[in-house]
């Protein structure tokens, strides 16, 4: 299932830790996406509703319009984090610089009925815990490139 976000001029959408700027032309017919990899600028253009481009492994589709503003659909694996700039800043502040994949939010919600803010606080507690890796009580978090990609439960709990 794709995540759908409004195109906000001059505000990035984050794919993992990669900021991607999206701008619509005056007629909302062409959406230009811009980002940088290793200091090299990249861009892609989406022309017309329903058309897609690939941005570093994420399919971005011009989904629809709401109040004359374009909406983009982002389709990616569960371990890929896609956030608006405001939410990215909020999560980074709450977790001490880590992003959390949808997979982890889902597992902790299903297992412990944790809401997003509780999951973020738990990840911060695991990050601050003493010992090897990111562990908290009976949970072990898998972290790759500052992204919490998975959580495993020990002792059958």
Local confidence band at 27 (pLDDT 50, 70, 90 cut-offs): confident
Burial 48-81 (b: 16+ CB within 10 A, else e): eeeeebebeebebbbbeeeeeebebbbebeebbb
Alpha helical stretches, state H, the chain: 85-95, 102-112, 116-128
Comparing CA positions, the residue from 149, 155, 156 lying closest to residue 107 is 149
Q: Which two tokens stand for residue 11?
A: 């505000």
Helix (H, G, I), strand (E, B) or coil at 130: coil
- pLDDT given at position 133: 67
Residue identified by tokens 């299903």 is 110
| pLDDT of 125 over the 70 cut | yes
Residue-wise pLDDT for 59-97, tens only, equals: 999 988 777 778 899 999 888 999 999 999 999 999 989
Q: Which two tokens stand for residue 70?
A: 């374009």
- pLDDT given at position 93: 92
The fraction of the chain above a pLDDT of 70, given in percent, is 96
Local confidence band at 56 (pLDDT 50, 70, 90 cut-offs): very high
Average pLDDT, the chain: 89
């Amino acid at each position: 299932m794709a995540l759908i976000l409004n195109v906000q001029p001059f505000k990035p959408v984050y794919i993992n830790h990669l900021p991607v700027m999206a701008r619509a032309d005056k007629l909302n017919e062409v959406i230009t996406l811009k980002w940088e990899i290793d200091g090299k600028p990249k861009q892609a253009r989406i022309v017309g509703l329903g058309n897609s481009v690939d941005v570093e492994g994420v399919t971005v589709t011009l989904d629809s319009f709401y109040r004359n503003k374009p909406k983009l659909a982002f389709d990616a694996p569960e371990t890929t984090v896609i956030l608006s700039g405001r939410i990215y800043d909020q999560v980074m502040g709450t977790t001490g610089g880590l992003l959390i994949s949808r997979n982890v939010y889902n597992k902790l919600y299903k297992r412990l009925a944790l809401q997003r803010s509780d999951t973020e606080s738990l990840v911060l507690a695991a990050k601050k815990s003493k010992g090897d890796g990111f562990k908290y009580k009976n949970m072990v978090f898998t972290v790759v490139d500052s992204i919490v990609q998975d959580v495993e439960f020990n002792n059958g709990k």
